[in-house]
């Protein structure tokens, strides 16, 4: 019996070829946009990843990508601090205004809108619903993109 511990890098040439084939990653996948299907986006914060200038720059880039996309039907859900994107004093308000214009509808949770003292009645594309009602929608959506 061979008691020598085999180093995980000790493979024959044939094995290396096999493992190499299995680890090839195609990073340039072809993007296919189905313009007719709705894209559901949940935004939970008024920044991306971290509450910082950098996080707001990343959120701005994401919003710009959505605005410039070819999707015809975008449904935005705003919950918690994400509703603050609709505050005129928010640094990303102008970006969000562009997204609201592009979106089919924007659904903000009314508890957070109240918490952050937002008046959202000016734009007919923006509606408020209870968080419970939004949660009921979210649990049934199969193609939801969550921005954290």
State the total domains in the chain. 1
pLDDT at 108 exceeding the cut of 70:
yes
| Average pLDDT value for residue range 69-75 | 91
Owning domain of residue 112: 39-147
* CA 76 – CA 133 distance, rounded (Å): 14
113's CB contacts (< 8 A; 6+ apart) are: 83, 86, 120, 128
* pLDDT recorded at residue 88: 92
Report yes or no on 76 lying in a domain.
yes
DSSP assignment, residue 35?
T
* pLDDT the model gives residue 32: 58
> Does residue 21 fall inside a structural domain?
no
Residue 106 lies in a domain: yes
Q: What pLDDT is recorded for position 6?
A: 47
In a domain, 28, yes or no: no
- Per-residue confidence (pLDDT) for residue 98, from 0 to 100: 96
pLDDT, position 36: 64
pTM for the structure as a whole: 0.75
- Asked if the model's pLDDT at residue 7 lies above 70, the reply is no
Supply the CATH number for residue 103's domain: 3.40.1260.10
């Amino acid at each position: 019996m061979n008691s020598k511990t085999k180093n995980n890098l000790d493979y024959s040439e044939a094995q290396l070829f096999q493992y190499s084939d299995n680890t090839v990653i195609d990073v340039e996948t072809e993007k296919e946009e189905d313009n007719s299907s709705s894209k559901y986006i949940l935004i939970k914060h008024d920044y991306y990843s971290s509450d910082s200038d950098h996080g707001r720059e990343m959120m701005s880039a994401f919003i710009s990508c959505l605005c410039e996309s070819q999707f015809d039907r975008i449904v935005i859900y705003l919950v918690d601090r994400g509703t603050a994107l609709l505050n005129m004093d928010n640094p990303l308000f102008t970006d969000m205004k562009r997204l609201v214009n592009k979106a089919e509808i924007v659904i903000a949770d009314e508890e957070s809108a109240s918490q952050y003292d937002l008046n959202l009645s000016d734009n007919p594309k923006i509606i408020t619903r209870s968080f419970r009602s939004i949660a009921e929608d979210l649990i049934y959506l199969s193609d939801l993109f969550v921005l954290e």
